[in-house]
Structure 1
């Protein structure tokens, strides 16, 4: 039984805490009438009617239910406002563009740009569920299937998960739609009973470069700070002169950072005929492939687990690790980049190279680039 409180002079309505509400509900469950509870807590019987639906809940559950009710009220208001905005937008689109064919193009643009389903995009544009510009959708699907087929041919051991994370994460395509296209085109990974011939792109040995900026080699080197944070160093060298064209540190090895670094070299006037890399995800991304196609740069990939196919950059990374990362202790990425800039200058200008008859890369270029 709850402790009865004597009600003195009448005042403003009393506000009960959740602990008091849970206690008076328990009193009612124990058989005490509402009138007695109201007098004991100094409130009216009408104010207790609000708490009758919560009989059987303790203080913690009362707090949870009240929070959920508040959240539900807020979400209901938001849904009402969004519904009003959607209705107004649909009416405006229909008034400004009465032609159904033109609105179907808008729907296709919404599907491609915001990963919306056809029904949702049609609803925004004021179209029925069956309306859709199938030509644009089919053209985009054919392009995606072509990209997936080419990637599978170059990487036969990669499944859908690895291909999507590398190739299709920058495309306006949902994972379920890409998997449906992947299954319809029958691109599932199949283990061959007999080995097949080596692709033509890797059967030839490395051809030496005969001029500057004819061939570049590129790869990432991974190291870590004393705190355990890993970082990535992108190295680009010229195969002809062994010149270190670029040596830049990144906290993450992304395709966007790779393309921005290559663009900075292009702006400075350096652009190769082809670039040799391994089969890393950044070098197989759509952003990198589009950049090389746009600037007419050929791509050459080494065979998986064959480091000798990209031996120039592998040897350079070994030298970089021996002379920098195994020798100095860095506290931040700023120190790493400053040390790389200093070492790159000394490497290109003064460090003798065995493959260049004891000359530095810039000395070799000065003597032999224009004989």
Structure 2
């Protein structure tokens, strides 16, 4: 009422307060609430349970014995903008570190990884690289513009028909490998998955070394107009890599020569 008198009759605050019988101190009074505790609690709940909403947060708060009423929780919830849709970052489950050892025989562990590059027209493409950790044999290099999980499983299905089924895959935590489609496909095939720890590419060191050689010899050495050219050169290079290129880690033998050795001679 005092504010109305001031704005309408252009009078002073003191006179307007006398007219409406309002103490001047009450005119200046601002209601203060300390919501810091409520803010901290809601932020804590949002961190622990990012997919839940206001009602569940309120129920959790009451179960903890905090007697804040619903309106207070609602007001702070809106104040923090928690009613707006927010992106939830997927958390990678804890991974167990395993030593990088040479399997005693082929088809024990295959390492998988992706690489990327661009064509001369600036269109991107990817390669799915697969090697056998036992003798570093290049099992496959598959080239495509995009490789969702369904494409990856289809490619692996064909590769397994040609080379046999391994006991497990060693991979990083890329979206294609942690996807439900890929994990369910591996489970149906009876193939285990050994995920390396995030940010620890050295735990997949065999294929990291392979990727470096492939990039130096093919991806960085040529310009490609289309992915067919990439696929043809990759297959020719794999033939040389597996049958003609000696490896220091294999005692100067090629991957196929090393595979042909009796098991006792490989160590």
TM above 0.5, yes or no, is: yes
Q: 1:127-169 CA deviation, whole Å, 9 max, x = no partner?
A: xxxxxxxxxxxxxxxxxxxxxxxxxxxxxx9x97xxxxxxxxx
> Which of 120, 129, 133 pairs up with 1:235?
129
Cα distance between partner residues in 2 of 1:180 and 1:286: 22
Cα distance between partner residues in 2 of 1:206 and 1:241: 14
Change over 3 Å in CA distance of 1:226–1:369 after alignment to 2 = farther
Residue aligning to 2:21? none
Cα distance between partner residues in 1 of 2:114 and 2:184: 20
* SS of match in other structure, 2:125: strand
Change over 3 Å in CA distance of 1:309–1:299 after alignment to 2 = same
Cα distance between partner residues in 1 of 2:185 and 2:149: 10
* SS of match in other structure, 2:245: coil
Residue aligning to 1:276? 170
Mapped pair 1:221 → 2:115: yes
Q: CA deviation at 1:274?
A: 0.8
Q: Residue 97 of structure 2 contacts residue 197 of structure 2 at CA under 8 Å; is this kept in 1?
A: no
Q: CA deviation at 1:326?
A: 1.1
Residue aligning to 1:210? 104
* SS of match in other structure, 2:217: helix
Cα distance between partner residues in 2 of 1:204 and 1:219: 18
Relative CO higher for 1 or 2, CA cutoff 8 Å, sep ≥ 6? 2
Cα distance between partner residues in 2 of 1:339 and 1:369: 32
- TM-score, normalised to structure 2, is 0.64
Runs of 4+ in 1 over 4 A off after TM superposition: none
Residue aligning to 2:72? none
Cα distance between partner residues in 2 of 1:238 and 1:312: 9
Q: CA deviation at 1:249?
A: 0.3
Q: Residue 212 of structure 1 contacts residue 369 of structure 1 at CA under 8 Å; is this kept in 2?
A: no
Cα distance between partner residues in 2 of 1:370 and 1:320: 30
- TM-score, normalised to structure 1, is 0.46
Q: How does 1:1-371 map to 2 (within 5 A)?
A: 199=94, 201-369=95-263
Residue aligning to 1:67? none
Change over 3 Å in CA distance of 1:189–1:229 after alignment to 2 = closer
Q: 1:170-193 CA deviation, whole Å, 9 max, x = no partner?
A: xxxxxxxxx569x97x9x979xxx
Change over 3 Å in CA distance of 1:208–1:370 after alignment to 2 = closer
Q: CA deviation at 1:248?
A: 0.8
Cα distance between partner residues in 1 of 2:256 and 2:223: 29
**Which segments of 5 or more consecutive residues in structure 2 lack a partner in the other structure?**
1-46, 61-86
* SS of match in other structure, 1:232: strand
* SS of match in other structure, 2:116: strand
* SS of match in other structure, 1:268: helix
Q: Residue 216 of structure 1 contacts residue 274 of structure 1 at CA under 8 Å; is this kept in 2?
A: yes
